[in-house]
Structures are given as structure tokens and as C-alpha cells.
Amino acid sequence: MQRLLFPLLILAAAAGGWWWWDGQRTSESPSDEAPVTDAAPETGKTSAETDAVPDATGQADTTAPAEGEQSTQEEDTAQAANDAADAAADAAAIAADAAAEAVQVTGEAAHPAASSAANEAEAAAEAALDAADRAAEAAAQANDPTSSAQNEAAEVAANAAREAAEATDTAADAAVTASRIESELTPEGFDAERVIELIETADIPEAQRATLKRLIESASDNPQLLQAALEQVKSVMKSN
């Protein structure tokens, strides 16, 4: 009897153990499957986030060209201002050279018309230098990323460059005029008609004008007298 009970107890214990394990497995199954169930929303969330990435990327792609375009425009504006400032500086240097040449050519015994032309060249050179300074200041402002008036500064630089170029043309023309007048009052560049014209337009008494004209007419064919006659013309014109 006891031997029969022992196998029954074993079977009961085994059955109880199986029931307990099965119960445990059953109770743990939802827990085991929970991550799968929970993973679905996460997967969905990840998918949503993934779907959102192209939108963000698309937005970034839309914004990036605008920012890049603005940066390019600022660089172009600054470069234009720099070019204008360089052009103004070059023009001012040319004007200064022209004025210096005019002053050197005319000298102290210059004809009044030549002196006037040399003075005009100097004034034009000063205007060109002033324009170059303004162009440089405007270019510096156009290159300042913190400035809110870059476009206006570039325009100022461009206008200053044009003014410098115009002043340089004036200085060059005046220098040429001064040089031509002085050359005409030398034996090497002598032109009787031009010298007579200078005498006629000079601000001198009529008697002196007539005397100088006769002097030039008589010395035109006499190289030995021509130098002295021309010096006399310049002396009279300078003293009046």
C-alpha cells in the first residue's frame, strides 16, 4: 500500500510541477510578448520620425539655398565695392601723376594759361584723391558683415570711383594743355599761329599785345632771335 502511494505522490508532484511550470510560462508569455507589442508603437514612432526626416531635410534644403544665396550676394556686393575702391585709387594715382607733370612742365616762368591749366590739374587730382578716400571707406563698410547698409556702401564706392575717374580725365586734359602751351613757347615746339593766338587771348594792354605780335612775326624766320622773343612773351604775360 505504501509502495502504491509513493508512485502516486511522484505523479502528483510531477503533475503539480508541470502545472506550476505551465502556469508560469502562461503568466510570463504576455510579459515575453509585451516587448513585441510595445515595440509596434515604437516602430510606428520610429517610422513617423523617419517620415519626418525627409520633411526636415526638405525644409533644410529649402532654407539652405536661401542662406547660401544671401551669402553669395553679400560677397558679390563686397567684391564690387572693393573693385570700385581699387579703381578709384588707381584713378587718383594717375591724376596725381598728371598734376605733378603739369606743375613740372610749367615751372615758375609759365605762361598764365599754362599755369591755369596746371592749377586745374592739381585741383582735379585733389578731387580724385578725395573720391578715392570715400570709396575706400565705403568699401570697408561694405565688407563689414555686421553693417546693415552694405548695398548702400557699395553704391557709394561705385559713385566715388566714377567721380575719381572724371577728376582724373580733367587732370589729364589740363596737364596736356599746360604741357602743350609750354611746348609752343619753346623753339622746338614753336608754332607761330598758336603763339599769336596766345598773345591775342592774354590779359595784357593792347600796346604790349601789338608789340609782342610784331616780335614773334619778325623772329619766326630767325632761330637766333626766336628764343629771346619767346622768353619775352612769357615774361610779359607772367607779369600781367
pLDDT tens profile 176-229:
988 888 888 888 888 889 899 888 888 888 998 899 999 999 888 888 889 899
Q: Is residue 225 a part of any domain in this protein?
A: yes
Q: Is residue 206 a part of any domain in this protein?
A: yes
Q: Is residue 62 a part of any domain in this protein?
A: no
pLDDT of residue 122: 93
C-alpha span between 5 and 164 (Å, rounded)? 124
Longest dimension (CA), the chain: 175
Residue 68 has pLDDT above 90, yes or no: no
Residue 158 vs residue 106, higher pLDDT: 158
Number of domains in the chain: 1
Residue with cell 613757347: 185
Q: Is residue 146 a part of any domain in this protein?
A: no
Q: Is residue 131 a part of any domain in this protein?
A: no
Q: Determine what percent of the chain falls in helix, strand and coil, rounding each to the nearest 5.
A: 90, 0, 10
Q: Cα-atom radius of gyration of the chain, to the nearest Å? A: 49
Structural domain span for residue 197: 186-240
Q: What is the pLDDT of residues 76-119, one digit of tens each?
A: 888 999 999 999 999 999 999 999 988 887 776 567 778 888 89
Q: Is residue 207 a part of any domain in this protein?
A: yes
Residue 57 vs residue 4, higher pLDDT: 57
Q: Is residue 10 a part of any domain in this protein?
A: no
pLDDT of residue 214: 92
Angle ∠(233,109,126) on CA atoms, nearest 5: 125
Q: Is residue 30 a part of any domain in this protein?
A: no
Residue 13 vs residue 96, higher pLDDT: 96
- Cα distances from 144 to residues 70, 77, 82, 135, 154, in angstroms, run 15, 11, 12, 14, 11
Residue 131 has pLDDT above 90, yes or no: yes
pLDDT of residue 233: 86
Q: What is the pLDDT of residues 21-40, one digit of tens each?
A: 344 334 444 444 444 444 44
